Structure 1
Amino acid sequence: MPPIISGYVRVVDAVNYRVGRIMMYGIFVMTGILLWSSVSKTFFLPSLWTLEAAQFAMVAYYILGGPYSIQLDSNVRMDLFYGSWSDRKKAWFDAFTVFFLIFFLGVLLYGAYDSTSYSMQYGERSPTAWRPYMWPIKLVMCIGFFLMLLQAFSEFFKDIARIRGEAI
């Protein structure tokens, strides 16, 4: 593979690896928020922010962890036929089907960008009692979709290298 593609794959994989490893600790953030919610409802006044903060943390957890999941090849797939195929045939199939993922992520990123820009422009807030601004979590979604799109291209390049019998 050309050095620029190898460099792209190395950089994208390194960034998504680090972001994914950091996001693995998001489960503790969500647990802490929900624990505080239970404690505050039992012993103090109920907190208005806990449920929505836990939802925002969960969105960040799975959106920013998605590229790492793709990188580790731990995404869900139907192994009825795929599991018995050779590595080269798997690479051919993955190189073809990744275009569906790229299209889907492109549409998601386009919608997320529009929604985020609207949210920033008009100061959109959640319609709950806590009323947090919506743009921070929408921005996280844009970043996550963008990183996932970069990772999808990285996986495509790795599949092409596997088809050609090369390693990146």
Structure 2
Amino acid sequence: MRVFSRYVEAVTALNNRIGHLSAFLVIPIFLLLLLEVGLRYLAGSPTVWTNELAQMLFGAYVLLAGGFLLANGGHANVDILHGRFRPRQRAAVDVFTSTLMFAFVGALLYFSSSMAWESVSRLEHSMSAWNPPVWPLRLLIPIATALLLLQGLAKLIVDLQVLFGRTPPQSAGTLSAEDAS
């Protein structure tokens, strides 16, 4: 059991670290959009690169947030029902619905890996006037998906522990201490 607890703690810590670091991507996104608005409306000289770079940074931000959100209970669920369940009932529903999550994330990992491999092998660029490389962002898709898959497995371990009456590790981030009892 200690191996499972260490796994949950390590994966949750990794996703929390990545989530906190990726949150700083909001700053350059904001600055790029502010620059574009200023150049467009104040100087009358819009750029060809600021919007595309802001979109690429936002894509990285969204991708890297997946594991962090799952670790901290930030993904959407039907709280009107889910919130009324007792912790063990919630855990049972989450174990059942995790099969859907694993099917989706597994398919996403499979298909995005081949897309990323092809993009990296061609050193793919966008087709815009600015023409930046897009292969790093495409490579980030399977990496972020793998982090989400690892966190999904950690959540499943915690849910199974709750379901079978064991106390999950505190750093799991998915349940509070009172939920575990």
TM-score > 0.5, shorter chain as reference: yes
| 1:94 is aligned to 2:87 | no
CA distance in 2, matches of 1:140, 1:37: 26
2:128 aligned partner:
128
Query: Percent identity of the aligned residues?
Result: 29
CA distance in 2, matches of 1:49, 1:142: 26
CA distance in 1, matches of 2:165, 2:83: 20
TM-score (norm 2): 0.87
1:81 aligned partner:
81
TM-score (norm 1): 0.94
For 1:88-129, what per-residue CA distance to the aligned partner results, in whole angstroms no more than 9, with x for missing partners?
A: 000011011111111101111111111111111122211110
CA distance in 1, matches of 2:84, 2:43: 56
The alignment of Structure 1 onto Structure 2 pairs a total of residues equal to 167
Find the residue that maps to 1:25 and give its secondary structure. helix
8 Å CA contact 2:94–2:159 kept in 1: the answer is yes
Structure 2 unaligned residues grouped into runs of 5+: 170-181
Find the residue that maps to 2:77 and give its secondary structure. coil
RMSD: 1.3
Q: Which moved more, 1:2-11 or 1:84-93?
A: 2-11
| 1:161 is aligned to 2:165 | no
Kindly report structure 1 stretches of 4+ aligned residues shifted beyond 6 Å.
none
For 1:114-161, what per-residue CA distance to the aligned partner results, in whole angstroms no more than 9, with x for missing partners?
A: 111111112221111011111111112221111101100000000011
After superposition, residues 1-168 of structure 1 pair within 5 angstroms as 2-41=1-40, 42-43=42-43, 45-167=45-167, 168=169
CA distance in 2, matches of 1:160, 1:20: 25
Structure 1 unaligned residues grouped into runs of 5+: none
Instruction: Quote the offset at 1:40 in angstroms.
Output: 2.4
8 Å CA contact 2:120–2:139 kept in 1: the answer is no
2:179 aligned partner:
none
Instruction: Quote the offset at 1:44 in angstroms.
Output: 6.3
8 Å CA contact 2:33–2:50 kept in 1: the answer is yes
